[in-house]
Structure 1
Amino acid sequence: MTAAPVRLVRLVRPAVLAAALAQLLIAAGPARAQEAAAGIAMPEAATGQQAKPGWATRHFAVAAANPLAVEAGYRILKAGGNALDAAIAVQMVLALVEPQSSGLGGGAFLMLWDGKAVQAWDGRETAPMAATPQLFLRPDGKPMTVGQAVVGGLSVATPGLVAMLAAAHREQGKLPWPRLLEPAIELAEQGFRISPRLHQLLSGEEALKRDPQAGPLYYDEQGRPRPVGHLLKNPALAAVLRAIAERGADGFYAGPVAADIARRVRGHARPGPLTEADLAAYRPRRREPLCADWLERWRVCGFPPPSSGQLTLMQILKTLEARGQAPAAPLVEGKPSIAWLHLYTEASRLAFADRAQYVADPDFVAAPAGDWKSLLDAAYLKQRAALIGAQSMKAASAGQPAKALISHAPQAAQPEYGTSHISIVDAEGRAVAMTSSIEAGFGSRIMSDGGTGLAGGFLLNNEMTDFSLAPSGADGKPVANRVEPGKRPRSSMSPTLVFDRRDGRLAMSVGAPGGPAIIHYVAKTLIGSLAWGMNLQQAVDLPNFGSFNGPTVLEQGGFGPATIAGLRALGHEVLEYELVSGLHAIQRTPGGWFGAADPRREGIVKGD
């Protein structure tokens, strides 16, 4: 696949920087300052756009972020595997070809439709048992900046991806486990050609060069990134994958692989508390899917806490529904209108205020009023929707569903990063929506060779920075999403399965990377396709937009001056930014399936 030329875009307007984020902005530099002011951080830089056609298939389809990974999933489906089998093969290849976004050293949320029921598999990373709420506090008692916290061992949480995939496969897999790792092992041993996107992202990276494993793998002796088309082999990753193929999760969580992970984290110049015992103790979780009805016809199922994705997504959609007064023309010249963007971003402010107040690992923090669905209660959202006026509220306060007691401080804004998304439907109609992550681009910038002594390896996550860096608020109350031993950090990942309530059949699998913007990317796609009647590719192609309970953020170049001026007239602080979504989605059609891949990244869809 030929990539479009790299297009670097500068911000055209500075944001007003929040005083509470001043320390973060000083350390992070101008680009990160813009992100933090808006409450967003792009996991990966923009590397141009390439128009995608949308793909019609009859029997099955695979959508993912790299053509080589899609091909692996396609091979598994052709060999008789099911959607879960294909997803495992896709993910293992992504660990090799898209190392900046996900991999063995990270975690994932998996939504699985087995034809009878929806399952939610939690492979989110966990805090080491020696971690404390004060983990990211400096000697002066103030929290580190995200820039200070990310690189090094301090940010590494116990990876969950491999354990979760192995556990799900034991229950729902069809082909033998070793068969699913063969495509990734072959590519790691024989090599793959570096894509334009990976090359561009390596070009903008400095800390990765200094890692003793990653530096020689991705850069030459002069520190230049390997060029586009370079045949990159990763023998250490191949060996680790072989150990996992032979021993299952034990090939990762015990023995030389686990020992090497712990050694590199604890032996880093900025060491962290992760141990072999943490790896040995990791267990994936089965959670109850969080489903909600929308627009009467659709049943939308997503991941419950510790993900904030489904709750926040459905709060936005159902607040708009409760508002009951959508603009007569939500689209103007094929793009969201000023009036509709005002309503959407106001609903977003309300939802993100609740997110900051309440959402965290449910094993550590109780749901408001004892039930997470209280945040989706119709009467509560009608009350919240009534707060939307003719002028922007600029920043919302959290509500109190069912008069819930507020015992925590809201989490202050801090950047959140990466991920990759896979959507698959197999020939029997079973489906996967899985979002996986190592958090920031290239994670903690620590690579493990799994104790093999070979070149290459896999990158370790920096998911600890998805916890609140400050353990308490100004009032002294603890933050719900503070660091605690064994806890899973709050996430924005939103793997989503949609069902038609008329017949109960699967209608769509969708998800995206992008930190907290994931929520807006998925919302945009659902609204465009299921409310506005666009085909799925058209919905994915729509310019991105949203608010994180701060400025209104619009995709750079996506909207004209009249839209920006109109929003400002309604009191919005407007920021244009490169909202680099990576949506992948598959929708049922009368003739089979229709898949879409985001023009902003390298993904494709393939099927029969």
Structure 2
Amino acid sequence: MIRTTLGLCALLTALALPLFAQQAADAVAPEGPSELAQSAQHPQTQAALEAKQAGRPVRAHDWMVAAAHPLAAEAGAEVLARGGSAADAMVAVQAVLGLVEPQSSGLGGGAFLVWYDAATGALTTLDGRETAPLDATPRLFQDENGAPMEFFDAVIGGRSVGTPGTPALLEEAHRRWGRANWAGLFDAAIGLAEDGFEVSPRLAAMVAGDMLNLMKSETARPYFLPGGVRPTPGHRLRNPAYAATLRAIARDGARAFYTGAIARDIVATVQGASDNPGTLSMTDLALYRVRERPPVCAPYRGRQVCGMGPPSSGALTLGQILGLVEPFDLAALGPRSAEAWRLIGDASRLAFADRGRYMADSDFVAVPVKGLIAPDYLRDRAALLRGTRALDEAAPGEPEFDHALRRADDIAIELPSTSHISIVDSYGNALAMTTTIENGFGSRLMTNGFLLNNELTDFSFATHSGGRPIANALAPGKRPRSSMSPTIVMEDGAPVLVLGSPGGSRIIGYVAQALIAHLDWGMDVQQAVAMPHLLNRFGAFEIEAGSSAMALQTPLEALGFETGLTPLVSGLHAIAIGDDLQGGADPRREGVALGR
């Protein structure tokens, strides 16, 4: 039985806020239906782009895919239309994203996947996060005096490259849940790589913004800046090396990536980086394995919000934010209320304080997963929000845990990039996958047509602080902490919402806001993903520049917050499952939702 996600209170709130909903849709300038004219291959693409521009969700009854580029969404839609599963469609979508949106994700990166299986009613997650090379040391990002390196000195080159997990994740998901022929899932991406695709406005802008770094890269410069000239929107770009890599994976599976010629090229590129060589080896690639992990689920408004546990901090931090605000009537306050944002902002600060102290790869350090989202713990922490002004301090709490191991707080940087895919197939399966090479263009190293990640810089550069160990310190084989938050919301044992976003450590706030907008404030999924952003991770409120959220700047300052205006470029993709399927694609990026 398909169910609605709006309670009576939220519905009344939605009816009372038509103006704000329109402001949410108009908060940023959408790219418009003509931004990627070549994307009209799929008959519904033009209509979907027009719906996004108008602030309306895309509706369907059978299946739906939402992804960050029309060509990628089209590849997934074709697979679903032929009877493929959500796992099949994801493989096709990711293969195209690695070509047309290479700065965000690809074969050289990693991903987290949350899967709902309609046949069994089970929910599980696959961890395709990158791992630190076996020869990496905890002081990898420190100078000879033990001081942390400058961030971008660490990022660019081989030092920052972790063992990629995405190819193994694609194969594992297909092995478990695929219905279509593996080799055929790469046809769309191979064709586009060989025949060429039109460079999108976003890719052109990203290349222009990173020219100094890309020009220094002997491996990436020839592709992105041939002859030192950056591509313009509409320029046709071909990538025959990527097509050859995909053909090898289509023929031989993921082992074509992790062994043999491609693996040797990866290692040579990493270890041969002239200014900043890394330690990734053939052994690291051969030993890489995807891990299945139980989902982390937290209650909210009678539903279960489920996602990826450690090494991701996403589901735990999201669950904490929602658990801290649940005692308060956000629906009655509404999205234009400074008081509502005081609660959300300080709840986020408290959650991020716990994130910095406790969350890391649970295969290497003990993480108090149950304690961090225990009802009693969150109830005690929520009591801190019952004042009338911003918290003077948001310190970590003490969840049920082994307190004999006192940890230091981590301030590791996690910059915006990444991509998110949401899919519901005709069989009732649901998939949320967030995928990344970390920073835009990753390590700026390229081989065999794809970029390599800089994921190791998601570790803390320091190992200790004040004599206490840092949970997210680097160790050989360890997976760096992430903020990626692929999420499936469950009600009465079935999924009602599938969503996620790129955005570095802002991902958690983007997803939390979209959930609150949909579940508390009655916004449909397109309104929820387009809504102006307000985020508070570490004490200062970030307010989306140029949006209607700027009206809250003065009221929030009156409540004691520091504020700042900044671009907040999320890339939310959401599918609501009710009487029909409703898809939303973030107007801040080029993505689209397609369905039938």
Q: Same fold (TM over 0.5)?
A: yes
* Alignment deviations for residues 147-200 of structure 1 (CA, whole Å, 9 cap, x no partner): 211101000000000011111211211111101111111111111000111101
Name the TM-score, length of structure 2 as normaliser.
Answer: 0.89
Distance 1:361 1:553, change over 3 A: same
State the match for 1:12 in structure 2: none
5+ unaligned residues in a row in structure 2: which ranges?
1-29, 34-51
SS in 2 for 1:140: coil
Distance 2:207 2:313 in 1: 30
Instruction: Tell me whether 1:480 sits opposite 2:485 in the alignment.
Output: no
State whether residues 356 and 412 of structure 1, in contact with CA within 8 Å, keep that contact through their aligned partners in structure 2. yes
- Aligned with 1:381 (options 374, 378, 382): 378
Instruction: Tell me whether 1:293 sits opposite 2:299 in the alignment.
Output: yes
- Aligned with 1:497 (options 464, 488, 494): 488
* Alignment deviations for residues 537-589 of structure 1 (CA, whole Å, 9 cap, x no partner): 11111111121122111111224665211111111011111110000010012
Distance 1:433 1:73, change over 3 A: same
State whether residues 543 and 550 of structure 2, in contact with CA within 8 Å, keep that contact through their aligned partners in structure 1. no
- Residue 281 of structure 1 aligns with an amino acid whose one-letter code is L
State the match for 1:564 in structure 2: 553
Instruction: Tell me whether 1:3 sits opposite 2:23 in the alignment.
Output: no
- Residue 471 of structure 1 aligns with an amino acid whose one-letter code is T
State the match for 2:574 in structure 1: 585
Instruction: Tell me whether 1:189 sits opposite 2:180 in the alignment.
Output: no
Distance 2:331 2:281 in 1: 58
State the match for 1:604 in structure 2: 592
Distance 1:413 1:444, change over 3 A: closer
SS in 2 for 1:414: coil
- Residue 511 of structure 2 aligns with an amino acid whose one-letter code is V
Distance 1:560 1:359 in 2: 31
State whether residues 394 and 573 of structure 1, in contact with CA within 8 Å, keep that contact through their aligned partners in structure 2. no
Name the TM-score, length of structure 1 as normaliser.
Answer: 0.87
Deviation of 1:345 (Å): 0.5
Distance 1:175 1:197 in 2: 32
- Aligned with 2:216 (options 200, 210, 213): 210
SS in 2 for 1:396: coil
Distance 1:277 1:413 in 2: 27
Runs of 4+ in 1 over 6 A off after TM superposition: none
State the match for 1:80 in structure 2: 83
Instruction: Tell me whether 1:248 sits opposite 2:243 in the alignment.
Output: no
State the match for 1:527 in structure 2: 516
State whether residues 331 and 521 of structure 2, in contact with CA within 8 Å, keep that contact through their aligned partners in structure 1. no
Distance 1:157 1:396 in 2: 33
Distance 2:215 2:333 in 1: 47
Distance 1:138 1:526, change over 3 A: same
Moved more, 312-321 or 139-148: 139-148
Distance 1:215 1:400, change over 3 A: same
State whether residues 155 and 461 of structure 1, in contact with CA within 8 Å, keep that contact through their aligned partners in structure 2. yes
State the match for 1:68 in structure 2: 71
- Residue 280 of structure 2 aligns with an amino acid whose one-letter code is L
Aligned residues: 544
Distance 1:188 1:560, change over 3 A: closer
SS in 1 for 2:126: strand
* Alignment deviations for residues 95-132 of structure 1 (CA, whole Å, 9 cap, x no partner): 00000100000000011112121120000000000111
Distance 1:379 1:459, change over 3 A: same
State the match for 1:407 in structure 2: 406
- Residue 375 of structure 2 aligns with an amino acid whose one-letter code is A
Question: Map of 1:60-139 to 2, 5 A cutoff?
Answer: 60-115=63-118, 116-139=121-144
Alpha-carbon RMSD across the aligned residues, in angstroms, is: 1.7
Deviation of 1:469 (Å): 1.1
Deviation of 1:52 (Å): 4.6
State whether residues 511 and 583 of structure 1, in contact with CA within 8 Å, keep that contact through their aligned partners in structure 2. yes
Distance 2:588 2:197 in 1: 22
Distance 2:509 2:292 in 1: 26
Deviation of 1:447 (Å): 0.1
Distance 1:65 1:560, change over 3 A: closer
State the match for 2:421 in structure 1: 422
- Residue 452 of structure 2 aligns with an amino acid whose one-letter code is L
Question: Map of 1:279-318 to 2, 5 A cutoff?
Answer: 279-296=285-302, 298-318=303-323
State the match for 2:169 in structure 1: 164
Distance 1:513 1:539 in 2: 15
State whether residues 193 and 243 of structure 2, in contact with CA within 8 Å, keep that contact through their aligned partners in structure 1. yes
Q: Matched residues, percent identical?
A: 50
Deviation of 1:302 (Å): 0.4
* Alignment deviations for residues 512-553 of structure 1 (CA, whole Å, 9 cap, x no partner): 000111111111111111121111111111111121122111
- Aligned with 1:573 (options 562, 566, 570): 562
State whether residues 301 and 496 of structure 1, in contact with CA within 8 Å, keep that contact through their aligned partners in structure 2. yes
SS in 1 for 2:321: helix
State whether residues 525 and 582 of structure 2, in contact with CA within 8 Å, keep that contact through their aligned partners in structure 1. yes
Distance 1:123 1:328 in 2: 37
Deviation of 1:349 (Å): 0.7
State the match for 1:513 in structure 2: 502
State the match for 2:354 in structure 1: 354
Distance 1:403 1:210 in 2: 47
Distance 2:558 2:243 in 1: 57
- Residue 31 of structure 2 aligns with an amino acid whose one-letter code is A
Distance 1:135 1:600, change over 3 A: same
Distance 1:318 1:545, change over 3 A: same
SS in 1 for 2:546: coil
SS in 2 for 1:393: coil
* Alignment deviations for residues 252-271 of structure 1 (CA, whole Å, 9 cap, x no partner): 00001000000010000210
Distance 2:88 2:401 in 1: 45
State the match for 2:10 in structure 1: none
Distance 1:159 1:403 in 2: 32
SS in 2 for 1:386: helix
- Residue 607 of structure 1 aligns with an amino acid whose one-letter code is G
Instruction: Tell me whether 1:393 sits opposite 2:399 in the alignment.
Output: no
Deviation of 1:460 (Å): 0.1
State whether residues 73 and 87 of structure 1, in contact with CA within 8 Å, keep that contact through their aligned partners in structure 2. yes
5+ unaligned residues in a row in structure 1: which ranges?
6-48, 450-456
* Alignment deviations for residues 444-468 of structure 1 (CA, whole Å, 9 cap, x no partner): 000012xxxxxxx100000000000
Moved more, 481-490 or 548-557: 548-557
